[in-house]
Amino acid sequence: LLFILSGCYGEKFMLTETSKEPLSSSMENVFLIGVGSNQVRVFLEPVADKMAMALAAKKIHATYSYAGKTKEEVNKCIAGIHPAKDDIVFIIVPRSDYSLVPYTYVSNDYYPTGTGGLTGKSVVQGAWLNDEFFLSMYKTEKQKDPFWSATMMIKCEVGSKRTVDKVAGLIISALEKNHYLPMR
């Protein structure tokens, strides 16, 4: 199953499921884990917050934790999860840590300054994320055996509320279509 969202300015969001199995029970608690560089962390935190809000609207408790950059940090974070508290783990891992591309756009158009004059340049700075993320979801007692996994190609501007909404919405929609979550 393939989910694609495309926006203006060359943004692309494509989620491809790689495996899925039925879930025998309903979700009550979800522990969202983000992995990657600090730059990727800046992207993942608002996405996880948006996912947690969507899950809360479905009466599912969700918490987010940034696990770190190294495998040891991730393993330590996962080892701290207790099945009685968090029954589902959802991990998002980037393919690479060098996926952010900074940009500066300088416009030569004339804009009013607000004081009656005109300015000839406008400078906009930001960063584009262009990477593949690996997503997996499993019960805490089966950490090596995810019941759902997917890859997600993301090409977008980091920090945009629209980007956060699209990425989180695409993931939640995929989980709804697979009946892991109740439909909206």
Which residues does 20 contact at the CB level (< 8 Å), separation at least 6?
Answer: 1, 147, 148, 149, 178
More confident residue, 84 or 96: 96
Q: Is pLDDT of 6 > 50? A: no
Query: So what's the pLDDT on residue 3?
Result: 43
Q: Is pLDDT of 13 > 70? A: yes
Query: So what's the pLDDT on residue 5?
Result: 42
* Three-state SS at 111: strand
* Three-state SS at 167: helix
Residue 1: closest CA among 162, 153, 150, 159: 150
Q: Is pLDDT of 1 > 90? A: no
pLDDT tens per residue, range 104-155: 555 555 555 556 555 555 555 566 777 888 999 988 777 678 899 999 988 8
Q: Is pLDDT of 172 > 90? A: yes
Q: Is pLDDT of 45 > 80? A: yes
Which token pair is 158? 């980091």
